[in-house]
């Protein structure tokens, strides 16, 4: 059965979507069957693998007008499928408010296809609304990207509080997969200070892998490619392959 990892942080611009695309593609490159689920109305995870304005989308799945298996599409990467998003998702939270079991609408659909995959990676919007709540309620764990910049820890207390509320009321098994340091610039003292602060705060929950600031990572989405297909020898590709390896190693140990 697939491990479901939600990538969440209500702060924008911390590398959520970049991580969702590149972690998914690196796991797929390791021949793990992966489903990337895009629940951000901006649909950047979808366009990041060259899927634009696809209809139907996860919106129809959440509101119950389409079956999830009819909406999932294959990407150009073997082992990587996508549940795409589009702008229609903007109104979904308003529609969900009056629906029964509104916090688990996505989870009910995901359970129908979970056995077909090794990993499900969910890319959330930069908010702690109903869409993110749905993701957390159905996930095994949450991966938290934190950028190595000023105000990095701002708002993290609110996210951790939300995770605890979800654990208490909706999903007792939810854990923190890890905290991922992103946009690390080795030349800046500030990056090193933020990294030290995050490690002091989260301890062993911080991934050994750090994602360095790398122009190739920034360029790849405009070509609709993950970094390992855009520039496989770049620092960004090596970083995300290392992250995927870290996660794979953790679960291979648990199985053995």
Res. 255: pLDDT tops 70: no
* Helix/strand/coil for 119: strand
Res. 33: pLDDT tops 70: yes
Report pLDDT for 91.
85
Domains of the chain by range and CATH?
3-255 (3.40.50.300)
CB of 121 within 8 A of CB of 7? yes
- Residues 6+ away with beta carbon under 8 Å from 179: 143, 144, 145, 146, 198, 202, 205, 206, 207
- Residues 6+ away with beta carbon under 8 Å from 19: 7, 143, 145, 180, 182, 211, 240, 243
Res. 65: pLDDT tops 60: yes
Instruction: Give the Cα separation of 202 and 160 in Å (integer).
Output: 11
Look at 13-17, 97-101, 232-236 and tell me which has the smallest mean pLDDT. Answer: 97-101
- Residues 6+ away with beta carbon under 8 Å from 60: 66, 71, 88
Instruction: Give the Cα separation of 18 and 100 in Å (integer).
Output: 33
* Helix/strand/coil for 35: strand
Backbone angles phi, psi at 184, to 5 degrees: -75, 125
Res. 45: pLDDT tops 90: yes
Q: What DSSP string runs through 122-168?
A: EEPPSS-SHHHHHHHHH-SEEEEEEESSTTTTTTHHHHHHHHHHHHH
Which of 99, 113, 36, 32 shows the shortest CA–CA distance to 65?
Answer: 99
Instruction: Give the Cα separation of 203 and 6 in Å (integer).
Output: 20
* Helix/strand/coil for 31: coil
- Over residues 113-165, the pLDDT tens digits come to 999 999 999 999 998 899 999 999 999 999 999 999 888 888 888 899 999 99
Instruction: Give the Cα separation of 117 and 120 in Å (integer).
Output: 7
Res. 170: pLDDT tops 80: yes
């Amino acid at each position: 059965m697939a491990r479901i990892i939600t990538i969440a942080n209500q702060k924008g611009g911390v590398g959520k979507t970049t991580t969702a695309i590149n972690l998914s593609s690196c796991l797929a490159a390791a021949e793990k069957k992966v489903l990337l689920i895009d629940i951000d109305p901006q649909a950047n995870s979808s366009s990041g693998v060259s899927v634009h304005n696809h209809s139907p989308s996860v919106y129809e799945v959440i509101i119950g007008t389409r079956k999830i298996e009819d909406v999932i599409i294959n990407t150009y990467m073997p082992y990587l499928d996508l549940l795409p998003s589009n702008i229609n998702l903007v109104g979904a939270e308003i529609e969900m408010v009056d629906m029964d079991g509104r916090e688990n609408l996505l989870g009910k659909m995901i359970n129908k296809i979970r056995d077909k995959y090794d990993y499900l990676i969910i890319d959330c919007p930069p908010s702690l609304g109903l869409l993110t709540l749905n993701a957390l309620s159905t996930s095994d764990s949450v991966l938290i990207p934190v950028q190595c910049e000023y105000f990095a820890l701002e708002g993290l207390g609110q996210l951790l509080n939300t995770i605890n509320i979800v654990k208490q009321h909706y999903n007792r098994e939810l854990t923190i997969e890890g905290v991922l340091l992103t946009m690390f610039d080795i030349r800046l003292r500030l990056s090193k200070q933020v990294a030290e602060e995050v490690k002091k705060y989260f301890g062993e929950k911080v991934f050994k892998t750090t994602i360095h600031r790398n122009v190739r990572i920034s360029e790849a989405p405009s070509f609709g490619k993950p970094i390992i297909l855009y520039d496989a020898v770049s620092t960004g590709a090596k970083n995300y392959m290392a992250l995927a390896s870290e996660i794979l190693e953790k679960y291979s140990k648990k199985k053995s």
